[in-house]
Chains A and B, each alone.
Chain A
Amino acid sequence: GAGVSQTPSNKVTEKGKYVELRCDPISGHTALYWYRQSLGQGPEFLIYFQGTGAADDSGLPNDRFFAVRPEGSVSTLKIQRTERGDSAVYLCASSLSGAMNTEAFFGQGTRLTVV
């Protein structure tokens, strides 16, 4: 596609529920990143994929968070037993190769609200 697409744009869920957030990267981009941004803060790294594999998942806050990218394109961020503290904008980005000095393109984000 023309840009990184994230769906849904907004998600409201009840505490304790399971949610899935989807990211469609730019076609041909092998690197994909997930970030989380709380109000008034900068984006916080969650996980980085190179192709199908998670090359770095050190930013995932706990085992309730999981992400997959089974075919090396679309990625899904999964959050189990959601908590109110999970409320944030979840941003996805992709880059051509993930190599040094390459630009990352961001989607518009999914605003998750846990009530």
Chain B
Amino acid sequence: SQQGEEDPQALSIQEGENATMNCSYKTSINNLQWYRQNSGRGLVHLILIRSNEREKHSGRLRVTLDTSKKSSSLLITASRAADTASYFCATETGNQFYFGTGTSLTVIP
């Protein structure tokens, strides 16, 4: 069963705006990872944040993790049309990666 829940389920913004999506999870984790998926096929790894980290940056991506609230957020700054995709958080617990239900992001040119 899936552990994570992304919020919102769908997000539509204008190019150049920032996009924020959130992920909540249920149990203790080793780390949390964000993935991007185009057209329902392969997932591309974006960023990994360890359970003892609170914030991490990678290019236009900023991820935060609050283990006390069991939540994470992904911020994409200065969005581009090419950022249009589904975004999933995945929590690593033991040997498994548990994925959330995803946020579908549409960036309008």
- Which residues of A does B touch, CB under 8 Å? 4, 33, 35, 37, 39, 41-45, 48, 50, 55-56, 59, 89, 91, 93, 98, 100-101, 103-109
Q: Residue A91 contacts which of B42, B98, B100, B102 (CB distance < 8 angstroms)?
A: B42
Contact of A106 among B2, B4, B42 (CB under 8 A): B42
Q: How many residues does chain B have at the interface if contact means C-beta atoms less than 8 Å apart?
A: 27
B30 within 8 A of A: yes
Does the CB pair A56–B102 fall under 8 Å?
no
8 example contacts (A-B, Cβ-Cβ < 8 A) are as follows: A4-B42, A41-B102, A42-B4, A43-B88, A44-B2, A100-B92, A101-B30, A108-B42
B77-100 near A? 1/0 per residue, CB < 8 Å: 000000000001010101111111
Shortest beta-carbon distance, B22 to chain A, in Å? 14
Whether the Cβ atoms of A109 and B95 lie closer than 8 Å is no
Among B2, B42, B48, B94, point to the contact of A42 (Cβ < 8 A): B2
Structural contact, A42 and B92, CB atoms closer than 8 A: no
Residues of A within 8 A of B43 (CB): 43, 91, 93, 106
Check if A55 sits within 8 Å of B45, measured CB to CB.
no
CB proximity of B56 to chain A, nearest CB, Å: 12
Q: How far is the CA of A95 from the CA of B108 in the complex (A)?
A: 35
B6 → chain A closest CB, angstroms = 8
